[in-house]
Chain A
Amino acid sequence: MAKIKERKNGKNGREEKVPELIGQSVPRVDAHEKVTGAAIFTDDLQFGPRLLHARILRSPHPHALIKRIDVSKASALSGVKAVVTGEDTPGYIGLYLQDRHIFCRGRARYVGDPVAGVAAVDEETAERALALIEVEYEPLPPVFDPEYGASPKAPLIHPDLGEYKVANFIFPKPETNVSNHFKIRKGDVETAWPRCAAIVERQYRIPHVQHAPIEPHVAVARWDESDRITLWASSQSPFAARNLIAKALGLSQSKIEVIAPYLGGGFGSKAGVSMEALAVVIAKAVKGRPVKLRLTREEEFYTTFVRQGLAAHFKMGCDKDGKLLAMENRYYWDAGAYTEYGVNMTRAGGYSGTGPYDVPNAKVDSLCIYTNHPVGGPMRGFGMPELHAGLEQCIDDLAHAVGMDPVEFRKLNCVREGDIIATGMTMHPIGLSECIEKAAQAIGWGHKAPPSAPASRKRRGKGIAIMWKAPAMPPNAGSSARVSLNEDGTVTVALGGQEIGQGSFTVMAQMAAAALGVPYDWVRIARPLDTQYSPYEWQTVASRLTWSMGNAVVAAARDARQQILDLVAEAWGEDPDDLDIVNGNVVSYKTEESRSLKDIVIYGLPKPNDQGWRGGPVLGRGSFMPTYVTGLDPETGQGPRAVVHYTTGAQAVEVEVDLDTGKVDILRGVSVYDVGRAINPEMVKAQMEGGLVQGISTALFERLKLKEGVVQNPSFVDYRIATSSDAPQHIEAIIVEVPQDDGPWGARGIGEHPMVPTIPAIANALYDAVGIRLDSPPFTAEKVYLAMVDAGIVK
């Protein structure tokens, strides 16, 4: 073998080198099976002829009492095997606030609320049975606006709010529609306003949008005669699904096995529990038979989590040099009928509610409001795209008001290492100002290219926006991993975080290979995820896997490595510190002896003279949980450490506006993020590109049109998402790396962040181009045109 020249993994004071695999853009572990059609998604699983099909009867009313349900005719229909209602689901379910029943009991709170479920021999029969269920409703006055919902005159949507079980960092207000109120009180804004040279005060509204993964939600449940439950589900969070469903049904968690194959896009819509529990409850009524519930695309639009709406009020001021002095922001989140995640999004929107700025005086109120809209849930960015949309436009306005360039204004005020942020936490090392500089440079800030048509027809503009986002999760959300080795020396990594397209399996394989000392293509990720075999993982949300699950995988790989080195050291009579694993071989720096892992990791090593054996199958274990996140004062939002860390970044875009039609074209986009360390740079860039286009889609096209609580556009025809013709000609993705102290080789998450600043970057570019501001996205051609007419730009 090649002579061993240098020691790779330092120990005992030797400097640790970053392994070569870290920072390499290796191809994805799942790419081949995904391009050949071999990758298995939940709907692809085959259950044979005993499979039953479920359909759900949903409330047609946004808010109503359910006076009577008669299922007798439906039950009598040939082919129907079971009909269930809220009678069968007395328990409450909910992640942070247990505020809903699996099927409605006594009251329906949105159009789409599940009222009854049918299992039948096929979908058509189940659908026919739904029409035979008689439900008597008594409509109640609805709430469709979060600010109205927060007012004392609004009807109560959850009269029992005071009785619900709730996490200790969420503060519902009984006898109101406020399910959480998070406050920041830092410094004193009232004494700061008179000292401001410029103050901007504005309001923005962000509509509900839908995640629209291309894979619809699907769940198959089987409840066997011994009350063991198996649930196959398109889930981002198999462990959370197990935990929440078990609690709601009064079962021990270990009674439920959740199996989660590849996920065809989640973006938050498949986190926690959305529709999976419906299938489980129906399956209980037909014990022993698997029951499949697959949502239609129409149901995807109005019955799965929507992104929360937001009514935002901003007031911010700076001194004559442009230094921010005060910010007073009030956020009313339209959480919809129930708040699986909404209460915690409200909290995240509160503690991050100043945006990534150093503001000495800050007052933020973030209120989660029940309405009779579809259920609000987490969506890529977890509240940050919504609040940054308005906040970053105000920052531009304030810069202009004080006569400063928006880029210079941001560089002056952006949060830096050592700043005391709004919650009182000291900011860790971050590269935000570098991100701003690079974004401005890449977009050609300050230079305006001529439009593609005369200025009377088209105008161009550039805009920039910055962002921050922390993983929003309980303080002690944990990860764990197992690393085992096979007879051929290859490695199997077992973990519980899902591959939802973001590339988690690939970076985990990279990190395991790097930590263990084997080639990347020797590593397999054990799949599908299965709560019976996979190690615990809190959830695949919050852009936390590379960091949190990565730490667990690296720990497990290092544990396995140490076991191997100790074994070989004993056998060779050497110090383990003189040994290493390089390219799948254990090597000695002292003797230059080398032996392949495959000879060691299962069968152990023989002692001399046939005197028995050493070792045995190697199994590494690792776990990670942040232990340092503290609580925050409920009145001031102050505490030593609100969050684990922030990922920050900047985006800039160049747009062209057609004066004849109002159409906005995104010509170019630049995304710059501080990811701590890019484990796989091309995959990081792919996140930045995909997130930017999803952000463009929400900026220009997307809005769930709700009329009296009814979604008017529940299809891809009427709810348009970005297509291949809408992607900009060019996106430049730039990686900044200021390492995270407790991330694997310094890594932080990047999944959600690329769509956070896109709406305001485009809005600021639109302002730069034609001088108009719209108070709500999407910036459709029609709205832009009419605003230009109002502004006198076109006649």
Chain B
Amino acid sequence: MSYHKITITINGVTDRVDVPSHMTLLQMLREKLALTGTKNGCAAGECGACTVLWNGEPVNSCMVLAVECDGAQIITVEGLAHDHQLDPIQEAIIAAGGVQCGFCIPGMLISARALLDRNPDPSDYEIRDALVGNLCRCTGYLRLIEAVKEAARRGEAEAAPA
């Protein structure tokens, strides 16, 4: 088994990490760095629970090898809030009652954040399309979709001149 030393920035903190060549980004986050907010639901790129931002793009971290992340910027669910201030999408999901068991939520939040970053005013169709890779068995999705719309409205309100 060969090891590689990579430099990776996770939630704004840059680290040097030794990773075996077959280790996935998900395994590195959860098992090596104990960043367990990102969830393992299938390890096959099917459920979306492990979604993280990889240089701003949402990816299934179970489908990315850790060695591929040398020099990458990673944002996980733990990196969404800043200075104890929740991201608007986190606040909106709480307000909409969009949390039940919570296992899909980290990946769902990341996909929603990625959508809002590239499209601050998404349509209903665009929201559903952006979340289609994040399976949720509890909520029936409507409150999650509503939360993204609400977060978009808050984002617009913040962007608007006072």
Contact = CB atoms under 8 A, between A and B. Distances in A.
Interface string B30-55: 10001111111111101101000000
Interface in B72-118: 76-78, 80-81, 86, 90, 93-95, 97, 99-106, 109
Nearest to A25: B97
Interface string A194-227: 0000000000000000011111100000000000
B81 to A, nearest CB: 6
A31 B139 CA distance: 13
Contacts of A28: 94, 97, 99
A579 interface: no
Interface string A674-715: 000000001101100111111000000000000000000001
A789 B97 CA distance: 43
B134 A36 contact: no
Given A31-B99, A686-B100, A731-B142, A36 B137 contact: no
A56 to B, nearest CB: 17
Given A37-B37, A717-B46, A214 B103 contact: yes
Interface stretch (A148-156, A562-570, A631-639, A718-726): A718-726
B58 to A, nearest CB: 14
B136 interface: yes
B101 A36 contact: no
Interface stretch (A41-49, A157-165, A413-421, A736-744): A41-49
A293 B94 CA distance: 32
A661 to B, nearest CB: 19
Nearest to A690: B140
Contacts of A502: 100
A37 B140 contact: no
A35 B100 contact: no
Contacts of A550: none
Contact of A265 (B40, B103, B134): B103
A34 interface: yes
A41 B140 contact: no
Contacts of B81: 36
A262 interface: yes
A128 B144 CA distance: 42
A40 B36 contact: yes
Contacts, number: 172
B130 to A, nearest CB: 8
Contacts of B140: 689-694, 722, 727, 731
A521 to B, nearest CB: 14
B154 interface: no
A603 interface: no
A30 interface: yes
Interface string A276-304: 00000000000000000000110000000
Contacts of B100: 265, 501-503, 686, 690
A503 B39 CA distance: 20
A724 B145 contact: yes
A46 B90 CA distance: 26
Given A39-B102, A264-B101, A686-B100, A32 B94 contact: yes
Main secondary structure of the interface of B (DSSP, over half): loop
A267 interface: yes
Contacts of A617: none
A34 B44 CA distance: 23
Nearest to B84: A36
Interface residues on B, range: 35 or more
B135 interface: yes
A35 B76 CA distance: 11
Count class of interface residues, chain A: 35 or more
A215 B97 CA distance: 20
Nearest to A212: B137
A296 B44 CA distance: 10
B34, B101, B127, B145, most chain A CB atoms within 10 A: B101
A724 B38 contact: no
A288 to B, nearest CB: 22
A474 interface: no
A691 B141 CA distance: 11
A686 B97 CA distance: 7
- Interface SS of chain A: loop
B42 A262 contact: no
A262 B99 CA distance: 13
A727 B143 CA distance: 11
Contacts of A38: 37, 78
A727 B44 contact: no
Contacts of B136: 214, 724
A267 to B, nearest CB: 7
A27 interface: yes
Contacts of B138: 265, 501, 690
A263 interface: yes
A716 interface: yes
A35 B142 contact: no
Contacts of B141: 693, 722-724, 727
B78 to A, nearest CB: 5
A43 B127 CA distance: 30
A500 interface: yes
Contacts of A716: 42, 44, 46-47, 135
A335 B38 CA distance: 36
Interface in A15-69: 25, 27-28, 30-32, 34-41, 43-44, 46
Contacts of A35: 77, 80, 86, 90, 93-94, 99, 102, 105, 109
B101 A31 contact: no
Contact of A34 (B46, B97, B99, B129): B99
Most buried by A among B103, B106, B133, B144: B103
Nearest to A731: B142
A215 B39 contact: yes
Contacts of A216: 40-42
Given A38-B37, A502-B100, A716-B42, A727 B142 contact: yes
A608 to B, nearest CB: 46
A744 to B, nearest CB: 21
11 contacts: A27-B95, A28-B99, A36-B81, A213-B101, A213-B103, A215-B41, A216-B41, A723-B133, A724-B128, A724-B132, A727-B145
Given A34-B105, A725-B132, 14 more contacts: A27-B95, A35-B93, A36-B90, A37-B38, A213-B137, A214-B41, A264-B41, A297-B41, A501-B138, A683-B97, A692-B140, A693-B141, A715-B44, A725-B128
A-B residue pairs, 8 tightest by C-beta:
A37-B37, A501-B101, A264-B103, A693-B140, A34-B102, A501-B100, A44-B36, A716-B46
Interface of B: 30, 34-44, 46-47, 49, 76-78, 80-81, 86, 90, 93-95, 97, 99-106, 109, 124, 127-129, 131-145
Interface of A: 25, 27-28, 30-32, 34-41, 43-44, 46, 211-216, 262-267, 296-297, 500-503, 682-683, 685-686, 689-694, 715-717, 721-725, 727-731
